[in-house]
Amino acid sequence: MERICVEGINHRTSELILREKLYVPANMLAETLSGLLKTRGIDECMILSTCNRTDIYYVYSGKDMGTAAMEALCGMKNIDFKKHAAAFYLFRGSRAVEHVFKVASSLDSMVIGENEVTGQFKDAFVAALENKSAGRVLYALFNAAMAAEKRVRNSTDISKGAVSVSHIAVELAAGIFGTLKGKRVLLIGAGRMAQMAAEHFRKKGAGSIDVLNKTYEKAVDMSKEFKGAAYGFGSLKQAMENTDIVLASTGSVKPVIKTKLIRGIAAKRNTPLHIIDIAVPRDTEAGIKNIKGVFVHDMDDLNKHVEKNMAARKSGYKAAEAVIKHATGKFEKMLIMKDLAPVMQGIKEKIYGIVVEESLKTARENKLPLSAARLVEKNAVAVVDRIISTHMNELKKRIDAGGDYESFIKLIKEEFKI
């Protein structure tokens, strides 16, 4: 259990600018996982990188790894680890497992109860499997995390009426304008986040919902559903001139909305232009915030909005947290018993070998028939099984009670010279 570790950064510990730099896009996962596995002591690892966090979940051998994993990632990203050390968290053992379960169950999300992170967690594990960086321990951790997430979802109201980042973005827009009725909306990007946002904009009465995407055909398909216009990236200027609200959520690693472009558009507008950028890394260049009449709202702004308006979501947090704590304890016991299995098997094999040897010796010395020799052996094995069973029952009691099972295991090894 102590070999499981988490190192990471999230929306509570750092500003967006650092999260952007540490973001690991899908096309960089294989290379990054490979680099982490080259870090001495890391046996298994997976990376969960989203708009609000970059976490490294890993299993290490030997001495305490400290912050070696995050230092390695910072090295790959050309980031000064020491300069930003205060923004990173480090959890080991039970605390690490509890954190993983909370993340998978959306208890550690910016929007508590949203279900998007669960899908992202699954994708992160699949990527680790595909890149052969996940092994026996992370496989067990993943399955336990999914079981905990299911129990949280089914036995608490934490996900009741759950919202998403896209929903919060639309609520932010509605708060800015008072009403979205008749407003023109432009979605830049046609992925899952944009699709969810479009649904919310429609429910809020937006006048038109246009779609701009790198793949024009995808923009056409989505714009038909929401009865808007479709644009390719070559028509970005035209699309932005005819809108009130822009919601950007592409997967680009570099800004797609340039300062020079927006400055030219703003000079011709008589009304403010609001850009809600929910992409990480951001889709907007930093200089756009300084243009008069243009207002950019990024993930940090959404986080502030959430903190003011999500108090009700926390009503089921304590119940969900209790589920997570129980799941963490259960996983710890399961992992201990798995680690113990080869120890107990070694004890059995060693003692059974002695039993067979002594039974044959007794049979020869007393000139017993084969049937009698086997009876002696059978009785001796029964005695051995009772001894081992007694040790196992005592060990289970200590584990269940949270007692000092490690010293007991040490004693068993010493007794049987394992």
Helix 116-130 to helix 93-104 angle (10° resolution) is 120
* Run of H or E residues at 325: helix 317-365
pLDDT digits (tens, 9 = 90+) for 259-290: 999 999 999 988 999 999 999 999 999 999 99
Structure confidence at residue 180 as a pLDDT band (50, 70, 90):
very high
What is d(CA 187, CA 85) in angstroms, rounded to the nearest whole number? 36
Helix 405-416 to helix 370-400 angle (10° resolution) is 160
Model pLDDT, residue 35: 96
Q: Which CATH number fits domain 4-162: 3.30.460.30, 3.40.50.11810, 3.40.605.10, 3.20.170.30?
A: 3.30.460.30
pLDDT digits (tens, 9 = 90+) for 290-329: 999 999 999 988 888 776 656 655 667 888 999 999 999 8
Structure confidence at residue 86 as a pLDDT band (50, 70, 90):
very high
Model pLDDT, residue 164: 82
User: Within a 10 A sphere around the Cβ of 101, how many other Cβ atoms?
Assistant: 27
- Per DSSP, which regions of 101-234 are E strands? 184-188, 208-212, 230-231
Lowest mean pLDDT among 6-10, 60-64, 127-131: 60-64
Among 67-81, 159-173, 348-362, top mean pLDDT goes to: 67-81
Mean pLDDT over 16-43 rounds to 95
Compare 413 and 194 and report the one with higher pLDDT.
194
pLDDT over 70 at 409, yes or no: no
Mean pLDDT over 359-388 rounds to 78
Structure confidence at residue 125 as a pLDDT band (50, 70, 90):
very high
Extract the tokens encoding 14. Answer: 């750092």
Mean pLDDT over 381-410 rounds to 71
Domain with CATH 3.30.460.30 in the chain: 4-162
CA-CA distances (angstroms) from residue 408 to 245, 281, 352?
A: 65, 51, 22
Mean pLDDT of the chain: 88
Q: Phi and psi of 105, rounded to 5°?
A: -95, 5
The radius of gyration of the chain from alpha carbons, rounded to an integer in Å, stands at 29
Overall residue count recorded for the chain in this entry: 418
Q: Phi and psi of 65, rounded to 5°?
A: -75, -20
Q: Which CATH number fits domain 165-308: 3.40.50.300, 3.30.70.20, 3.40.1710.10, 3.40.50.720?
A: 3.40.50.720
Q: Select which of 5, 45, 51, 74 is catalytic.
A: 51
Structure confidence at residue 184 as a pLDDT band (50, 70, 90):
very high
pLDDT digits (tens, 9 = 90+) for 52-80: 999 999 999 878 888 999 999 999 999 99
Known catalytic residue at 5: no
Domain with CATH 3.40.50.720 in the chain: 165-308
